Amino acid sequence: MAITKIIALVTLAFAGSIGMTLVILGCALPQYKIWWPFFVVLFYILSPLPTLIARRYNENVGSNGTGPYELAIFITMGFVVSSFGLPIILARSNVVEWGACYLTLAGNVVVYATLVGFFLTFDTDDADYSMW
């Protein structure tokens, strides 16, 4: 059981590094040379926070209500949509080239798939959210 969690964690770390590599390539390749798409990393950091806060709130209060959790999902989806919208808006306004936009979007898909994989793998009933 513990070895499968370690393998899953290593696989998720590898996938996350592939996603970040795609985002960095979209910024650093010689034909692009502009780092505006790198602001999507801010959305990567902010997107899991509402869900973690809502789960910890439900744990501390002891409530079984889904209101805070659904609000957290709504805010998380706002971050996810923003991270996909930012490169498209930058490309349509000719701030970055479309190739950089496509690399950033591909990185977004990989990073968010990694985040979903993390929550599906490590989201058990005995999870201790106080460590986060």
The residue that leads in pLDDT, 39 or 4, is 39
Q: What is this structure's pTM?
A: 0.84
What is the mean predicted confidence (pLDDT) over 102-121?
93
51 band by pLDDT with thresholds 50, 70 and 90: confident
Q: Each residue of 103-112: pLDDT tens digit?
A: 999 999 999 9
Query: Residue 63 — very low, low, confident or very high, per pLDDT cuts 50/70/90?
Result: low
pLDDT at residue 132 is higher than 60: no
Helices and strands (H and E) in the chain: how many: 5, 0
Residue 65 backbone phi and psi in degrees, to 5 = -70, 150
